[in-house]
Structure formats: structure tokens, C-alpha cells
Amino acid sequence: MSKKISAIVITGNGTNCELEMAHACRLAGFDEVDIVHISELLCGTKRLDDYDFLNLPGGFLNGDDLGSAKAGANRILHAAVAGGRERLFDQFARFIAAGKLILGVCNGFQLLVKLGMLPDLDGLYDRQTVTLTYNDSGRFEDRWVHLRANAASPCIFTRGLRGIYLPVRHGEGKFIPQDEEILERLHRQNLIALQYSNGEYREATTDYPANPNGSIDAIAGICNETGRIFGLMPHPEAYLHRTNHPRWTREELPEEGMGLALFRNAASFLRSNSF
């Protein structure tokens, strides 16, 4: 009998992609999928410890009024769980230490970056070393992009992928490292899992609109050294079925959307590993 695996999708304070992310987990084969409001974690009725896969969906966390996900990061870092015995961040720390999986998409990626959980260099997952800021275009970008996958990356989620086609929808998606040393380490350790690319997935590009936000070195998604924490600006949960594709009535497409591959990889990894 195969191991049962569970996923939690955190919602609240402006997120709006939780239903699609939960649906992706179910399609990928997770046995239990719960959408949990962050207030349920803070009041103690739900705990991260009870799950294997943590999903941080996109949306407009706190309306993006205080910077992309910064207020959400401060809430996790400093808010105490009911009873006052621990911060919510302590549950995140245990989740990471247990070797479980975390996926942050768009606003969720911004959240992981502002928390310091990505890129998590040297195991310091509470120190911010990169950021996501305003698009070079100065406007909200809503378009589909080609993404080149790094075959040498330790990322669990992108295993077996050469490239993937997904939509972006964000106003603050430009990836910038703290300095050249951080950027060099990201490249050297193959932590850059996805880059904006041309339609053939052959090479990364910094040209607009293929690179919709002006990200340094075309970085669209990064993982930590273990490959178990992954964040990306494009939305894999938005392409789960052929009818999600913008040209589904004009092209012959597989029934399954490309985005589901990331969730299937997560499920496969968790079924074959013990915690």
C-alpha cells in the first residue's frame, strides 16, 4: 500500500489562487488537500506539522500596498500562535527541517523571498538575500511566457522538464539579488531552476516581453540547496488542462496542462520518502 501524502494551501489577506492550487494537488494524486486560512494556523486549530506539502499561492497579499508580501512575511516571522509558546515561523522552520516540500507561486514566491526561505543559502532561512520588485515596464504584466528549465538544478519540482509554458500576472516580479556574490552562488549551485526564454526553450532572454519584468539573468524561479523549497513568478496552477491554454481552440494540445508536472513531481517525491 502506497504512503498517504497531504497538502496544505494557505489562504487569507488577499490571496486568490488557492482553489486552483488545491485542485492541482488533487489532480497530482495527493490524498488529503486542505485550504487553510492563516488565522487557523495562528489560533492553533491547524498546524503545518500535520502536512507534507506546503503551498503558498498567488494573489494580492495585503493588497500589495506595503510592498510585495512584506507585511505577510512580518506576520509569519513575528506573530505568535495562540498560547504564546511559539511563533508561526517556528512551524515553518520545523517543516523545513523535516525535509518536506514548499512551493511558492507569484505572491507566494515573494513571501518566501522576503522571509529569507529562498534562496536559503548556508541554511539561513530567516535572512533575505534577494528580492522581487517592480517590473521594468512600470505596469502589471498579464501574459504567457516560455520558461527554460535547468536540468542541473536540484529542484524537485522541475525534474524531467526541458521547458514549460505558463502565464504570469504580476506588477512586482523583477528578480534582483543582493549583490554579485549572491548571483554567482545561485549560478554555481544551480539554484536557478527556471529562466524566461525564447519559444524553443534553448536559451534564456532578458528581452521584453519574453522576459516580462526585467529579471536579472532572466530568473523566473529558484530553489534552495536541497531542491525542496521552490518559488516562481509564473503560475503553474493556471495551466492544468488544455482548455486553460490561450490557443486551445486553435492548436492540438495534450489533455493535461504543463503546470501539473510540478505538482506530480512533488507527489512522486513525497511518496518515495519518509519523514
Cα of first residue to Cα of last residue in the chain, in angstroms, is: 17
Burial class of residue 168 in the structure, from the number of CB atoms within 10 Å of its CB (0-12 exposed, 13-18 middle, 19+ buried): buried
Query: Residue 200's pLDDT is what?
Result: 87
Mark the ranges of the chain whose per-residue pLDDT is less than 50.
Answer: none
Residue 55 grid cell? 503551498
The residue from 18, 25, 146, 235 that is catalytic is: 235
Active site residue 252: no
Active site residue 25: no
Superfamily of domain 6-271: Class I glutamine amidotransferase (GATase) domain (3.40.50.880)
The per-residue pLDDT for range 157-196, each reduced to its tens digit, is 999 999 999 999 999 999 999 999 999 999 999 999 999 9
The residue from 17, 106, 155, 223 that is catalytic is: 106
The residue from 146, 172, 237, 245 that is catalytic is: 237
Query: Residue 259's pLDDT is what?
Result: 98
The per-residue pLDDT for range 17-51, each reduced to its tens digit, is 999 999 999 999 999 999 999 999 999 999 999 99
Query: Residue 275's pLDDT is what?
Result: 60
Query: Residue 1's pLDDT is what?
Result: 56
Active site residue 235: yes
**Domain limits of the chain?**
6-271
> How far is the C-alpha of 84 from the C-alpha of 69, rounded, in Å?
24
Report the side by side order of strands in the sheet with 229-232: 32-37, 6-11, 53-56, 101-105, 229-232, 219-223, 192-197, 141-149, 163-170
Query: Residue 68's pLDDT is what?
Result: 61
